[in-house]
Chain A
Amino acid sequence: MAEGSSPLEQFVIQRWVPAEIGGVDVSFTNSAAFMVAAVVLASALMILSVRQRAMVPNRWQLLAELSYSFIAKMLSDTVGKEGRPYFPFVFTLFMFVLFGNFLGMLPYSFTFTSHLAVTFTLAAFIFIAVTLIAIFKHGMKFFSFFLPHGVPIAMAPLLIPIEIISYLSRPISLSVRLFANMLAGHTLLKVFAGFVPALGVAGILPLAFVSALTGLEIVIAFLQAYVFAILTCLYINDALHLH
Protein backbone atom coordinates (compact mmCIF):
# COMPACT_ATOMS: atom_id res chain seq x y z
CA MET A 1 0.00 0.00 0.00
CA ALA A 2 2.96 2.26 0.55
CA GLU A 3 4.94 1.30 -2.54
CA GLY A 4 4.22 4.63 -4.16
CA SER A 5 6.91 7.22 -4.56
CA SER A 6 5.08 10.02 -2.74
CA PRO A 7 5.16 10.02 1.08
CA LEU A 8 1.42 10.72 0.93
CA GLU A 9 0.73 7.57 -1.09
CA GLN A 10 0.23 5.65 2.16
CA PHE A 11 -2.86 7.71 2.96
CA VAL A 12 -4.72 6.88 -0.25
CA ILE A 13 -8.01 5.12 0.34
CA GLN A 14 -8.59 2.12 -1.88
CA ARG A 15 -12.02 0.67 -2.54
CA TRP A 16 -11.70 -3.05 -1.91
CA VAL A 17 -15.36 -3.98 -2.14
CA PRO A 18 -17.46 -1.33 -3.89
CA ALA A 19 -20.88 -0.94 -2.30
CA GLU A 20 -23.67 1.59 -2.32
CA ILE A 21 -26.69 2.22 -0.11
CA GLY A 22 -29.35 4.58 -1.46
CA GLY A 23 -26.92 6.26 -3.80
CA VAL A 24 -24.34 6.76 -1.04
CA ASP A 25 -20.94 5.15 -1.53
CA VAL A 26 -20.27 2.77 1.38
CA SER A 27 -17.49 0.76 -0.25
CA PHE A 28 -15.43 -1.47 2.01
CA THR A 29 -12.03 0.21 1.84
CA ASN A 30 -8.60 -0.33 3.33
CA SER A 31 -9.65 2.22 5.96
CA ALA A 32 -12.73 0.16 6.83
CA ALA A 33 -10.63 -3.01 6.91
CA PHE A 34 -8.26 -1.52 9.51
CA MET A 35 -11.21 -0.25 11.54
CA VAL A 36 -12.57 -3.79 11.59
CA ALA A 37 -9.12 -5.09 12.53
CA ALA A 38 -8.92 -2.58 15.39
CA VAL A 39 -12.33 -3.67 16.67
CA VAL A 40 -11.44 -7.36 16.41
CA LEU A 41 -8.10 -6.93 18.17
CA ALA A 42 -9.48 -4.65 20.88
CA SER A 43 -12.34 -7.07 21.53
CA ALA A 44 -9.94 -10.02 21.53
CA LEU A 45 -7.68 -8.31 24.06
CA MET A 46 -10.56 -7.42 26.34
CA ILE A 47 -12.45 -10.72 26.08
CA LEU A 48 -10.05 -13.58 25.30
CA SER A 49 -7.39 -12.44 27.76
CA VAL A 50 -9.79 -12.49 30.71
CA ARG A 51 -11.37 -15.87 29.90
CA GLN A 52 -9.52 -17.60 32.70
CA ARG A 53 -10.80 -15.04 35.22
CA ALA A 54 -7.57 -15.63 37.09
CA MET A 55 -7.22 -14.25 40.59
CA VAL A 56 -3.57 -13.64 39.77
CA PRO A 57 -3.66 -12.37 36.16
CA ASN A 58 -1.29 -13.45 33.41
CA ARG A 59 0.28 -10.80 31.16
CA TRP A 60 -2.62 -10.46 28.74
CA GLN A 61 -5.25 -10.34 31.44
CA LEU A 62 -3.15 -7.78 33.26
CA LEU A 63 -3.03 -5.68 30.09
CA ALA A 64 -6.83 -5.77 29.80
CA GLU A 65 -7.25 -4.96 33.50
CA LEU A 66 -4.72 -2.14 33.31
CA SER A 67 -6.52 -0.63 30.29
CA TYR A 68 -9.77 -0.77 32.23
CA SER A 69 -8.28 0.74 35.38
CA PHE A 70 -6.36 3.36 33.39
CA ILE A 71 -9.47 4.76 31.71
CA ALA A 72 -11.62 4.34 34.81
CA LYS A 73 -9.10 6.35 36.83
CA MET A 74 -8.80 8.98 34.10
CA LEU A 75 -12.55 9.43 34.05
CA SER A 76 -12.96 9.53 37.83
CA ASP A 77 -10.04 11.95 38.18
CA THR A 78 -11.41 14.41 35.63
CA VAL A 79 -15.17 14.01 36.01
CA GLY A 80 -15.72 12.24 39.32
CA LYS A 81 -18.43 9.73 40.17
CA GLU A 82 -20.98 11.31 37.80
CA GLY A 83 -18.77 10.33 34.86
CA ARG A 84 -19.39 6.63 35.46
CA PRO A 85 -22.20 6.28 32.84
CA TYR A 86 -19.86 7.57 30.15
CA PHE A 87 -17.12 5.07 30.95
CA PRO A 88 -18.00 2.51 28.22
CA PHE A 89 -18.00 5.24 25.59
CA VAL A 90 -14.68 6.78 26.70
CA PHE A 91 -13.13 3.33 26.99
CA THR A 92 -14.32 2.32 23.51
CA LEU A 93 -13.09 5.61 22.10
CA PHE A 94 -9.66 5.18 23.67
CA MET A 95 -9.27 1.56 22.53
CA PHE A 96 -10.49 2.38 19.02
CA VAL A 97 -8.09 5.28 18.54
CA LEU A 98 -5.24 3.43 20.27
CA PHE A 99 -5.58 0.32 18.11
CA GLY A 100 -6.01 2.48 15.00
CA ASN A 101 -2.79 4.32 15.83
CA PHE A 102 -0.88 1.15 16.73
CA LEU A 103 -2.04 -0.76 13.66
CA GLY A 104 -0.82 2.17 11.60
CA MET A 105 2.68 1.57 12.95
CA LEU A 106 2.89 -1.78 11.15
CA PRO A 107 4.78 -1.48 7.86
CA TYR A 108 2.51 -1.31 4.78
CA SER A 109 -0.52 -0.80 6.99
CA PHE A 110 -3.10 1.96 6.81
CA THR A 111 -3.78 4.46 9.59
CA PHE A 112 -7.47 5.34 9.62
CA THR A 113 -6.88 7.95 12.37
CA SER A 114 -4.78 9.92 9.85
CA HIS A 115 -7.97 10.85 8.01
CA LEU A 116 -9.75 14.03 8.95
CA ALA A 117 -13.12 12.53 7.95
CA VAL A 118 -12.72 9.91 10.68
CA THR A 119 -11.28 12.11 13.42
CA PHE A 120 -13.72 14.93 12.73
CA THR A 121 -16.69 12.58 12.81
CA LEU A 122 -15.56 11.32 16.22
CA ALA A 123 -14.87 14.84 17.47
CA ALA A 124 -18.13 16.24 16.11
CA PHE A 125 -20.11 13.40 17.67
CA ILE A 126 -18.41 14.07 21.03
CA PHE A 127 -19.00 17.81 20.70
CA ILE A 128 -22.68 17.47 19.86
CA ALA A 129 -23.30 14.80 22.49
CA VAL A 130 -21.54 16.80 25.19
CA THR A 131 -23.45 19.97 24.27
CA LEU A 132 -26.76 18.09 24.35
CA ILE A 133 -25.89 16.58 27.73
CA ALA A 134 -25.07 20.05 29.08
CA ILE A 135 -28.30 21.60 27.77
CA PHE A 136 -30.35 18.64 28.97
CA LYS A 137 -28.79 18.79 32.42
CA HIS A 138 -28.63 22.56 32.98
CA GLY A 139 -31.24 23.99 30.62
CA MET A 140 -30.76 27.70 29.97
CA LYS A 141 -28.12 27.85 32.69
CA PHE A 142 -25.83 26.14 30.18
CA PHE A 143 -25.31 29.50 28.47
CA SER A 144 -23.76 30.92 31.65
CA PHE A 145 -20.86 28.66 30.64
CA PHE A 146 -19.80 31.38 28.21
CA LEU A 147 -19.41 34.01 30.95
CA PRO A 148 -16.97 32.81 33.61
CA HIS A 149 -17.74 33.66 37.24
CA GLY A 150 -16.33 36.85 38.73
CA VAL A 151 -15.80 38.60 35.43
CA PRO A 152 -16.73 42.31 35.39
CA ILE A 153 -19.90 42.78 33.36
CA ALA A 154 -18.10 45.36 31.22
CA MET A 155 -15.86 42.58 29.92
CA ALA A 156 -18.82 40.46 28.84
CA PRO A 157 -19.13 41.80 25.28
CA LEU A 158 -15.51 40.86 24.71
CA LEU A 159 -15.40 37.60 26.67
CA ILE A 160 -18.61 35.96 25.52
CA PRO A 161 -17.62 35.86 21.82
CA ILE A 162 -14.18 34.55 22.78
CA GLU A 163 -15.69 31.83 24.95
CA ILE A 164 -18.16 30.89 22.22
CA ILE A 165 -15.43 30.70 19.59
CA SER A 166 -13.22 28.66 21.89
CA TYR A 167 -16.15 26.33 22.60
CA LEU A 168 -17.01 25.92 18.92
CA SER A 169 -13.40 25.27 17.99
CA ARG A 170 -13.24 22.26 20.30
CA PRO A 171 -14.22 19.67 17.68
CA ILE A 172 -11.79 21.22 15.22
CA SER A 173 -8.82 21.21 17.62
CA LEU A 174 -9.72 17.73 18.87
CA SER A 175 -9.93 16.22 15.39
CA VAL A 176 -7.06 18.14 13.79
CA ARG A 177 -4.70 17.29 16.68
CA LEU A 178 -5.05 13.56 16.12
CA PHE A 179 -5.20 13.75 12.33
CA ALA A 180 -2.20 16.08 12.03
CA ASN A 181 -0.07 14.05 14.45
CA MET A 182 -0.69 10.86 12.55
CA LEU A 183 -0.26 12.54 9.16
CA ALA A 184 2.97 14.30 10.11
CA GLY A 185 4.51 11.32 11.88
CA HIS A 186 3.82 8.85 9.09
CA THR A 187 4.88 11.30 6.40
CA LEU A 188 8.14 12.00 8.20
CA LEU A 189 8.84 8.29 8.60
CA LYS A 190 8.16 7.75 4.91
CA VAL A 191 10.34 10.67 3.81
CA PHE A 192 13.33 9.52 5.85
CA ALA A 193 12.77 5.89 4.87
CA GLY A 194 13.00 7.10 1.24
CA PHE A 195 16.50 8.47 1.95
CA VAL A 196 17.80 5.06 3.04
CA PRO A 197 18.09 3.41 -0.40
CA ALA A 198 18.87 6.76 -2.07
CA LEU A 199 22.02 7.38 0.01
CA GLY A 200 23.55 3.93 -0.38
CA VAL A 201 26.04 3.17 2.44
CA ALA A 202 25.40 6.54 4.05
CA GLY A 203 21.77 5.44 4.26
CA ILE A 204 22.65 3.98 7.63
CA LEU A 205 22.14 7.48 9.07
CA PRO A 206 18.53 7.95 7.94
CA LEU A 207 17.92 4.31 8.87
CA ALA A 208 19.06 5.00 12.43
CA PHE A 209 16.91 8.12 12.46
CA VAL A 210 13.88 6.21 11.17
CA SER A 211 14.41 3.56 13.85
CA ALA A 212 14.46 6.18 16.58
CA LEU A 213 11.52 7.99 15.01
CA THR A 214 9.54 4.75 14.95
CA GLY A 215 9.96 4.53 18.71
CA LEU A 216 8.80 8.10 19.07
CA GLU A 217 5.81 7.44 16.79
CA ILE A 218 4.77 4.49 18.96
CA VAL A 219 4.81 6.80 21.96
CA ILE A 220 2.83 9.38 20.02
CA ALA A 221 0.34 6.70 18.94
CA PHE A 222 -0.38 6.01 22.59
CA LEU A 223 -0.18 9.65 23.65
CA GLN A 224 -2.66 10.87 21.05
CA ALA A 225 -5.16 8.20 22.00
CA TYR A 226 -4.69 9.28 25.61
CA VAL A 227 -5.08 12.97 24.75
CA PHE A 228 -8.20 12.27 22.70
CA ALA A 229 -9.73 10.33 25.59
CA ILE A 230 -8.79 12.76 28.35
CA LEU A 231 -10.06 15.77 26.38
CA THR A 232 -13.33 13.91 25.94
CA CYS A 233 -13.37 13.40 29.71
CA LEU A 234 -12.77 17.12 30.27
CA TYR A 235 -15.59 18.04 27.88
CA ILE A 236 -17.91 15.65 29.70
CA ASN A 237 -16.83 17.26 32.97
CA ASP A 238 -17.64 20.72 31.58
CA ALA A 239 -21.03 19.48 30.42
CA LEU A 240 -21.87 17.99 33.82
CA HIS A 241 -20.46 20.71 36.07
CA LEU A 242 -20.20 23.76 33.77
CA HIS A 243 -17.48 25.84 35.41
Chain B
Amino acid sequence: MPQLEQISTYASQIFWLVVVFAVLLGVMLKVALPRVQGILEERQKRIDDDLARAAALRDEAEGVLRAYEQAQADARAEARRLLREQQEAAATEAAARHAALGERLAGDAAAAEARIAEARREALAGIEAAAGEVAQAMTARLIGVEVDAAEAAAAAAGTGRAGA
Protein backbone atom coordinates (compact mmCIF):
# COMPACT_ATOMS: atom_id res chain seq x y z
CA MET B 1 0.00 0.00 0.00
CA PRO B 2 1.67 3.26 -1.10
CA GLN B 3 0.21 5.09 1.90
CA LEU B 4 2.34 3.02 4.26
CA GLU B 5 5.24 2.18 1.92
CA GLN B 6 6.15 5.63 0.60
CA ILE B 7 7.31 6.91 3.98
CA SER B 8 9.83 9.16 2.23
CA THR B 9 6.92 11.23 0.84
CA TYR B 10 5.43 12.01 4.27
CA ALA B 11 7.54 15.13 4.74
CA SER B 12 6.55 16.47 1.33
CA GLN B 13 2.86 15.68 1.89
CA ILE B 14 2.83 17.34 5.29
CA PHE B 15 4.81 20.34 4.02
CA TRP B 16 2.42 20.98 1.13
CA LEU B 17 -0.60 20.28 3.30
CA VAL B 18 0.49 22.94 5.79
CA VAL B 19 1.37 25.47 3.09
CA VAL B 20 -1.74 24.92 1.00
CA PHE B 21 -4.09 24.72 4.00
CA ALA B 22 -2.63 27.93 5.42
CA VAL B 23 -3.17 29.67 2.07
CA LEU B 24 -6.77 28.46 1.87
CA LEU B 25 -7.41 29.48 5.49
CA GLY B 26 -5.96 32.92 4.76
CA VAL B 27 -8.05 33.36 1.61
CA MET B 28 -11.23 32.23 3.37
CA LEU B 29 -10.54 34.31 6.48
CA LYS B 30 -9.57 37.54 4.76
CA VAL B 31 -11.49 37.51 1.49
CA ALA B 32 -14.14 34.90 0.90
CA LEU B 33 -15.97 34.56 4.21
CA PRO B 34 -16.30 38.31 4.94
CA ARG B 35 -17.76 38.80 1.46
CA VAL B 36 -20.30 36.01 1.77
CA GLN B 37 -21.13 37.15 5.29
CA GLY B 38 -21.58 40.69 4.00
CA ILE B 39 -23.97 39.51 1.30
CA LEU B 40 -25.98 37.39 3.72
CA GLU B 41 -26.18 40.19 6.28
CA GLU B 42 -27.14 42.71 3.63
CA ARG B 43 -29.91 40.44 2.42
CA GLN B 44 -31.12 39.78 5.96
CA LYS B 45 -31.10 43.51 6.64
CA ARG B 46 -33.01 44.17 3.43
CA ILE B 47 -35.59 41.52 4.35
CA ASP B 48 -35.92 42.91 7.88
CA ASP B 49 -36.26 46.45 6.50
CA ASP B 50 -38.91 45.33 4.04
CA LEU B 51 -40.79 43.52 6.78
CA ALA B 52 -40.55 46.56 9.06
CA ARG B 53 -41.81 48.82 6.28
CA ALA B 54 -44.64 46.44 5.50
CA ALA B 55 -45.59 46.39 9.18
CA ALA B 56 -45.51 50.20 9.32
CA LEU B 57 -47.68 50.44 6.21
CA ARG B 58 -50.10 47.94 7.66
CA ASP B 59 -50.33 49.92 10.90
CA GLU B 60 -50.94 53.07 8.89
CA ALA B 61 -53.65 51.38 6.83
CA GLU B 62 -55.28 50.10 9.99
CA GLY B 63 -55.19 53.63 11.43
CA VAL B 64 -56.86 54.99 8.32
CA LEU B 65 -59.44 52.25 8.46
CA ARG B 66 -60.14 52.99 12.12
CA ALA B 67 -60.49 56.72 11.37
CA TYR B 68 -62.83 55.95 8.48
CA GLU B 69 -64.95 53.65 10.64
CA GLN B 70 -65.04 56.26 13.39
CA ALA B 71 -66.12 58.93 10.91
CA GLN B 72 -68.77 56.61 9.54
CA ALA B 73 -70.05 55.81 13.03
CA ASP B 74 -70.12 59.52 13.90
CA ALA B 75 -72.01 60.34 10.71
CA ARG B 76 -74.49 57.59 11.38
CA ALA B 77 -75.07 58.79 14.94
CA GLU B 78 -75.47 62.38 13.70
CA ALA B 79 -77.95 61.26 11.07
CA ARG B 80 -79.94 59.35 13.67
CA ARG B 81 -79.94 62.37 15.98
CA LEU B 82 -81.14 64.70 13.19
CA LEU B 83 -83.80 62.25 12.16
CA ARG B 84 -85.07 61.97 15.72
CA GLU B 85 -85.14 65.77 16.13
CA GLN B 86 -87.03 66.18 12.89
CA GLN B 87 -89.49 63.51 13.89
CA GLU B 88 -90.06 65.13 17.26
CA ALA B 89 -90.49 68.60 15.69
CA ALA B 90 -92.90 67.22 13.12
CA ALA B 91 -94.88 65.41 15.79
CA THR B 92 -95.08 68.57 17.93
CA GLU B 93 -96.17 70.66 14.99
CA ALA B 94 -98.71 68.09 13.91
CA ALA B 95 -100.18 68.01 17.41
CA ALA B 96 -100.32 71.82 17.47
CA ARG B 97 -101.99 71.99 14.10
CA HIS B 98 -104.34 69.24 15.05
CA ALA B 99 -105.36 71.19 18.16
CA ALA B 100 -105.74 74.46 16.19
CA LEU B 101 -107.84 72.76 13.54
CA GLY B 102 -109.98 71.16 16.20
CA GLU B 103 -110.59 74.55 17.79
CA ARG B 104 -111.39 76.18 14.49
CA LEU B 105 -113.75 73.41 13.53
CA ALA B 106 -115.43 73.59 16.91
CA GLY B 107 -115.83 77.38 16.45
CA ASP B 108 -117.22 76.91 12.96
CA ALA B 109 -119.61 74.27 14.20
CA ALA B 110 -120.85 76.54 16.99
CA ALA B 111 -121.30 79.43 14.56
CA ALA B 112 -123.13 77.17 12.14
CA GLU B 113 -125.40 75.90 14.88
CA ALA B 114 -126.15 79.51 15.91
CA ARG B 115 -126.93 80.36 12.29
CA ILE B 116 -129.16 77.34 12.00
CA ALA B 117 -131.00 78.28 15.17
CA GLU B 118 -131.47 81.88 13.92
CA ALA B 119 -132.67 80.66 10.56
CA ARG B 120 -135.04 78.29 12.22
CA ARG B 121 -136.36 81.00 14.49
CA GLU B 122 -136.78 83.36 11.53
CA ALA B 123 -138.44 80.62 9.55
CA LEU B 124 -140.82 79.86 12.39
CA ALA B 125 -141.64 83.57 12.72
CA GLY B 126 -142.22 83.74 8.94
CA ILE B 127 -144.54 80.74 9.16
CA GLU B 128 -146.61 82.41 11.91
CA ALA B 129 -146.88 85.65 9.90
CA ALA B 130 -147.81 83.72 6.78
CA ALA B 131 -150.36 81.70 8.75
CA GLY B 132 -151.92 84.94 10.02
CA GLU B 133 -152.13 86.32 6.52
CA VAL B 134 -153.55 83.04 5.24
CA ALA B 135 -156.05 83.03 8.05
CA GLN B 136 -157.04 86.70 7.33
CA ALA B 137 -157.37 86.01 3.63
CA MET B 138 -159.36 82.83 4.26
CA THR B 139 -161.77 84.50 6.67
CA ALA B 140 -162.30 87.32 4.23
CA ARG B 141 -163.05 84.96 1.39
CA LEU B 142 -165.04 82.45 3.26
CA ILE B 143 -167.08 84.52 5.63
CA GLY B 144 -166.35 87.99 4.32
CA VAL B 145 -165.20 89.31 7.61
CA GLU B 146 -162.26 91.53 7.56
CA VAL B 147 -160.18 90.34 10.42
CA ASP B 148 -157.54 92.51 11.94
CA ALA B 149 -154.06 91.29 10.93
CA ALA B 150 -152.88 91.09 14.55
CA GLU B 151 -155.96 89.18 15.57
CA ALA B 152 -155.58 86.80 12.65
CA ALA B 153 -152.00 86.27 13.51
CA ALA B 154 -152.77 85.58 17.15
CA ALA B 155 -155.55 83.21 16.12
CA ALA B 156 -153.29 81.42 13.64
CA ALA B 157 -150.65 81.14 16.28
CA GLY B 158 -153.22 79.86 18.79
CA THR B 159 -154.66 77.43 16.28
CA GLY B 160 -151.22 76.51 15.18
CA ARG B 161 -150.26 75.83 18.74
CA ALA B 162 -153.57 74.07 19.44
CA GLY B 163 -153.34 72.03 16.23
CA ALA B 164 -149.76 71.17 16.82
Contacts and interface: CB of A to CB of B under 8 A. Distances in A.
Interface of A: 8, 11-13, 15, 21, 24-29, 31-32, 35-36, 38-39, 42-43, 46-47, 50, 53, 55, 57, 61, 64-65, 68-69, 87-89, 91-92, 95-96, 112, 114-118, 121-122, 179, 183
Interface in B10-29: 10-18, 20-21, 23-25, 27-29
A29 B28 contact: no
Interface stretch (B32-40, B76-84, B114-122): B32-40
A205 B135 CA distance: 162
A96 B27 contact: no
Size range of the chain B interface in the assembly: 35 or more
A34 to B, nearest CB: 10
B143 interface: no
6 contacts: A42-B28, A50-B32, A50-B39, A68-B33, A88-B28, A121-B13
Contacts of A68: 33, 36-37, 40
Contacts, number: 135
Contact of B20 (A13, A21, A32, A179): A32
Q: Tell me the dominant secondary structure on chain B's binding face.
A: helix
Interface centre among B2, B4, B13, B38 (most CB of A within 10 A): B13
A55 B41 CA distance: 11
B53 interface: no
Contacts of A11: 1-3
Contact of B16 (A12, A31, A61, A88): A31
Given A29-B16, A53-B42, 18 more contacts: A13-B9, A28-B16, A32-B12, A32-B13, A35-B21, A43-B28, A50-B36, A50-B39, A53-B35, A53-B39, A55-B43, A64-B32, A88-B25, A88-B29, A95-B28, A112-B17, A117-B10, A121-B14
